[in-house]
């Protein structure tokens, strides 16, 4: 995973980009720009959706980084259903214009991974955390702190991609997954973390510090 290159366009988007580009070009050649213009709009949308820029890694080993680009929609005490414990939950909502690659919030190891099929309600709603399709990682930091990082599908998202399994080491900012077309990532953190963001804040994966571990 550390060796994954950072091209301008995520590998997950290459088939979509090729299909939309070929369709737009074919209509342009056969019918002209006017008829092809809606297809070029789709091509540009796909191009921006699957962009995957490299990011500077913020903070240090105590820092919990944003696992995704987006907007903070939840900061509240919550029960972690995966580890059956009381935590502080921070949720990042990604709209279709955000970068959708997901990155590790901490340095640590994947202790366990769970996948749960479900619905596809609007990921901006809190019930998405318990009703939607989701993939959860139990991460244990290098100093023994437990964090649960959950990818949640959205209203039009239909594919959660996760490339790590139990036992995999991760470093802050390491790319581990992707969610296509609108989604959310929930973090369940120890209750005594020092939160660095507020509800409504816009965050960037890897370069925004969400919280500091004790």
Q: Is 91 designated active site?
A: no
Q: Answer yes or no: are the C-beta atoms of 183 and 161 closer than 8 Å.
A: no
Angle 209-68-139 from CA coordinates, rounded to 5°: 75
Q: Phi and psi dihedrals of 96, rounded to 5?
A: -70, -10
**Active-site residue among 20, 91, 129, 183?**
183
Q: Can you list the positions of beta strands (E) in 154-204? A: 160-162, 169-170, 175-179, 183-189, 194-195, 202-203
Handedness of CA 84, 82, 77, 129 (dihedral sign): negative
Q: Answer yes or no: are the C-beta atoms of 87 and 119 closer than 8 Å.
A: no
Active site residues: 183
């Amino acid at each position: 995973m550390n060796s994954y290159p950072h091209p301008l366009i995520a590998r997950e988007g290459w088939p979509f980009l090729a299909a939309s580009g070929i369709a737009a070009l074919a209509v342009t050649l056969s019918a002209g720009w006017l008829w092809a213009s809606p297809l070029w709009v789709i091509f540009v949308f796909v191009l921006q959706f699957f962009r995957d820029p490299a990011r500077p890694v913020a903070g240090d080993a105590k820092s919990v980084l944003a696992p995704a680009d987006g907007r903070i929609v939840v900061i509240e005490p919550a029960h972690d259903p995966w580890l059956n414990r009381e935590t502080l939950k921070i949720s990042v909502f990604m709209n279709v214009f955000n970068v959708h690659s997901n990155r590790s919030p901490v340095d640590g190891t994947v202790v366990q991974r769970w996948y749960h099929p479900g619905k596809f309600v609007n990921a901006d709603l809190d019930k998405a955390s318990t009703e939607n399709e989701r993939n959860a990682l139990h991460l244990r930091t290098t100093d023994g702190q437990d964090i649960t990082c959950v990818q949640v599908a959205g209203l039009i998202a239909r594919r959660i991609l996760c490339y790590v399994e139990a036992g995999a080491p991760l470093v802050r900012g390491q790319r581990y997954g992707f969610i296509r077309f609108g989604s959310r990532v929930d973090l369940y953190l120890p209750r005594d973390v020092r939160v660095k963001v507020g509800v409504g804040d816009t965050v960037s994966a890897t370069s925004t510090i969400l919280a500091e571990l004790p």
